[in-house]
Structure 1
Amino acid sequence: MKKNILRSITAAALVAASVSGPMLSAPASAQVGGIVHDPRNYSQNILTAARTLEQINNQIKQLQNQATSLLNEARNLQSLPTSTLGELQAQIDQTKQLLTEAEGIAYDVADIRKGFEQRYKGTAFSGPTSALVANAEARWKDSVGAFEDAMKVQAGIVSNMGGTRTSISTIVGASQSATGALQAAQAGNQLLAIQSQQIADLAAVMTAQGRAEMLGAARAAAAEAEGRERFRRFRKGD
């Protein structure tokens, strides 16, 4: 409607200007019914009104652009309504709990040092035969427990895969419907958190498996040392 009004006013102005042109030689002013009519003044007023309407239209467009910009900024600041932080923390806590349940020699420097001094190093072979037997049995329990712990950690991480898959599907779905930069960034951060959790699970499996392998190797070395000690005692008749 505004465009039609503007076109009508502009056309009227052009007609008035052509009427007042030199070809028709119309008078600058005329008196009709006691009213003085000036065509030039009339056309000037029409052009002024057209320009004013055009300026108003431009201002309306600027306000519309500003409103659109504000709406976009509001979307960019809108937070993502979906979060999988609780599920990730629960999975990490489960893996951590499995690691803390290690039997025999735990994942602690002091416990490792103490356990090796008692069952795997030279002092473990200096006692009576009953002590040698007890230490050998303790070493066997360490190895069996370590392999059991590794299998528990592996089973726990496998059970986490279902929850991880659900979390990934949820975050990917939320990212596809993100309406602003903040929501997209938060979705990306949560996907990175899921990836970090998977890396932590992988590190836990490698740690548990490595612990089992090292205790098995230490048990084999201790068994060899014990065999030499038993042979020495046998030769001496102890």
Structure 2
Amino acid sequence: MKTQGLREALLSGVMIAGTAAGMGIAPPVHAQFGGIVYDPSNYAQNVLTAARSLEQINNQIRQIQNQATSLINEAKNLASLPVSTLSTLQQQVQQTRTLLAQAQRIAYSVQDIQSAFTQRYKGANLNASQSQMVSNANARWQDSVGALEDAMRVQAGVVSNLDGTRTSIDTLVSASQSASGALQATQAGNQLLALQSQQLADLTAAIAAQGRAQSLEAARNAAEEAEARERLRRFFKK
């Protein structure tokens, strides 16, 4: 307020001096008041100089204010998201991996599958003895039961992850909506994408476990059918 009043007073002095000159009033070039020499033209020039200086100061103040606002906005854009669901996500992924690693009888391994099928599923075993056929049939039954149990355990693990997933989604959506800058919004979006990837991984694991169980059951049925024909052939051959 003081700066504004000073500028107005200075500008008023300039206008008065200009008006007097326009009306043909020529003040004395030099007037003396109490021993002090007064020069109107010099006074008017000083007033104009002061007004220009004041305007420059105001412009500099506005520039500083704009720079401060810009720095505040940049700081907001660089601020990190105050929440993170990474630890929960890692725990859920590790739980699913652990369940898959606990597969019974036949693991999720090409070598294990090939070895198991060679020993008790393929047609070469039709030349085995009767007792060996019975043993193979029992082993295949255990494979199927174990695979079905594994599938149900993986499915149960996926379902148990749903509560944590729902909580993480609510947290991230809330953080994204209240994000103060571009970086926070981006980080919230990245965590939501990671959460979606985890859900897809859980779904893939459940489908794989279920498919494994179904495949082993189908292979068991095929092997038992082949062995039944072989036992029937041996019966009539006697």
TM category, shorter: over 0.9
- Residues 78 and 180 of structure 1 are in contact (CA less than 8 Å); yes or no, is this contact kept in structure 2? yes
Amino acid across the alignment from 1:172:
V
Displacement, 1:3?
2.5
Amino acid across the alignment from 1:27:
P
1:201 aligns with 2:208: no
Name the residue aligned to 2:130.
129
In structure 1, what is the Cα distance between the partners aligned to 2:166 and 2:129?
Answer: 56
Displacement, 1:86?
0.7
SS, match of residue 36 in structure 1: strand
- Residues 75 and 180 of structure 1 are in contact (CA less than 8 Å); yes or no, is this contact kept in structure 2? yes
SS, match of residue 31 in structure 1: strand
In structure 2, what is the Cα distance between the partners aligned to 1:13 and 1:232?
Answer: 126
198-207 vs 13-22, which moves further: 13-22
173-182 vs 94-103, which moves further: 173-182
Name the residue aligned to 1:188.
189
In structure 1, what is the Cα distance between the partners aligned to 2:229 and 2:201?
Answer: 42
Aligned length: 237
- Residues 79 and 183 of structure 1 are in contact (CA less than 8 Å); yes or no, is this contact kept in structure 2? yes
Displacement, 1:22?
4.5
In structure 1, what is the Cα distance between the partners aligned to 2:177 and 2:9?
Answer: 48
- Residues 168 and 191 of structure 1 are in contact (CA less than 8 Å); yes or no, is this contact kept in structure 2? yes
Consecutive unaligned residues in structure 1, runs of 5 or more: none
Map 1:28-67 onto structure 2 (within 5 A).
28-67=29-68
Map 1:15-34 onto structure 2 (within 5 A).
15-34=16-35
TM-score normalised by structure 2 residue count: 0.95
Displacement, 1:58?
0.5
Name the residue aligned to 2:167.
166
Amino acid across the alignment from 2:9:
S
SS, match of residue 22 in structure 2: coil
In structure 2, what is the Cα distance between the partners aligned to 1:157 and 1:11?
Answer: 81
Amino acid across the alignment from 2:122:
K
Report sequence identity in percent: 62
Map 1:80-229 onto structure 2 (within 5 A).
80-229=81-230
Displacement, 1:41?
1.3
- Residues 123 and 223 of structure 2 are in contact (CA less than 8 Å); yes or no, is this contact kept in structure 1? no
Amino acid across the alignment from 2:96:
T
Q: Tell me: CA distance 1:144–1:152, structure 2 relative to 1, closer, same or farther (3 Å).
A: same
SS, match of residue 26 in structure 1: coil
SS, match of residue 32 in structure 2: strand
- Residues 85 and 191 of structure 2 are in contact (CA less than 8 Å); yes or no, is this contact kept in structure 1? yes
1:234 aligns with 2:235: yes
CA-atom RMSD, angstroms? 1.4
TM-score normalised by structure 1 residue count: 0.95
1:69 aligns with 2:70: yes
Displacement, 1:179?
1.6
- Residues 20 and 40 of structure 1 are in contact (CA less than 8 Å); yes or no, is this contact kept in structure 2? no
Displacement, 1:134?
0.8
